[in-house]
């Protein structure tokens, strides 16, 4: 989807997308992320000359989302509506879109080990953390978690992928990245830290200590939703953008 296909009714990226560097990898290319973190990064690039770009990654499911994004030059549109107005913004901060099933785990891990990556953020829903809400502890006996512990270099869970990427960065002498949960659960940063360190201890105690010493797990607040897209919404977006 080139800019020449879009009508003047949509706000387009005015920055040079080639100048963006991949600084953040986001796991879970869902609607909330597209309409919030993606838009904020786009605003920063537009108004404050930020060079922070995104790699988008889906680990399980969402193959079509990634395929669609790849086919439209990693551009996507966010529509905002109020009682009396509609606006559309074409977000241009995505540098690359990957899916484990389409591109391979090694490609995803290699991306996470690029030196300039500073943050790995997540919107994978609460169930993607495999933690017990009652205790806050990682469910090490869950079949998917147990399988990752037995085969940590070929992980399938988000926690396993993050820990394997951190292990490779440690081995390569690269700095750790920040791990930022953006899922709607209390003290999500604490949950993220606990499941990552618990998993790492089950895999490699020295790695777990390095993670505790070097990785930051900020807590974030999520207080908005993105309404589901309807046929009427799609028709209005087509009217606004011309595609």
Q: Is residue 116 within 8 Å of 23, Cβ to Cβ?
A: yes
Q: How far is CA 146 from the centre of its chain?
A: 24
Average pLDDT of the chain is 93
What local confidence, expressed as pLDDT, does residue 5 receive? 45
Which residue has better confidence, 86 or 196? Answer: 196
Query: What sign does the CA torsion over 201, 197, 211, 209 have?
Result: negative
Is the per-residue pLDDT at 25 higher than 50? yes
pLDDT at 210 over 90: yes
* pLDDT above 60 (res 8): no
SS3 state of residue 87? strand
CA distances from 147 to 140, 164, 192 (A): 9, 14, 19
Residue 57 pLDDT exceeds 60: yes
Place of tokens 């953040």: 24
Direct distance between the N- and C-terminal alpha carbons of the chain, in angstroms, rounded to an integer: 9
| pLDDT score, position 9 | 66
**Of residues 239 and 164, which shows the higher confidence score?**
164
User: What whole-number distance in Å separates Cα of residue 14 and Cα of residue 12?
Assistant: 6
3-241 CATH: 3.40.50.720
β-pair partners for 122: 27, 181
CB atoms within 10 A of CB 2: 9
Return left, alpha or beta for 99; rule: phi > 0 is left, psi -120 to 50 is alpha, else beta: beta
pLDDT at 1 over 60: no
């Amino acid at each position: 989807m080139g800019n020449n296909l879009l009508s003047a009714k949509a706000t387009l990226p005015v920055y040079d997308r080639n100048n963006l560097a991949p600084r953040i990898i986001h796991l879970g290319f869902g609607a909330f992320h597209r309409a919030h973190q993606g838009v904020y990064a786009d605003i920063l690039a537009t108004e404050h000359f930020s060079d922070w770009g995104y790699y988008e990654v889906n680990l399980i499911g969402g193959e079509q989302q990634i395929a669609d994004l790849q086919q439209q030059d990693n551009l996507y549109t966010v529509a905002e509506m109020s009682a009396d107005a509609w606006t559309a913004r074409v977000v241009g901060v995505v540098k690359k879109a990957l899916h484990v099933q389409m591109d391979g785990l090694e490609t995803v891990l290699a991306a996470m080990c690029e030196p300039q990556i500073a943050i790995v953020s997540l919107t994978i829903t609460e169930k993607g953390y495999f933690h017990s809400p009652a205790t806050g502890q990682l469910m090490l006996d869950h079949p998917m978690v147990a399988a990752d512990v037995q085969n940590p270099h070929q992980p399938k869970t988000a926690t396993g992928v993050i820990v394997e990427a951190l292990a490779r960065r440690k081995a390569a002498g690269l700095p750790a990245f920040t791990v930022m949960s953006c899922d709607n659960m209390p003290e999500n940063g604490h949950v993220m830290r606990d499941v990552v360190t618990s998993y790492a201890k089950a895999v490699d105690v020295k790695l777990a200590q390095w993670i505790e010493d070097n990785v930051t797990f900020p807590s974030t607040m999520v207080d908005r939703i993105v309404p589901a897209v309807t046929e009427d919404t799609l028709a209005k977006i087509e009217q606004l953008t011309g595609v």
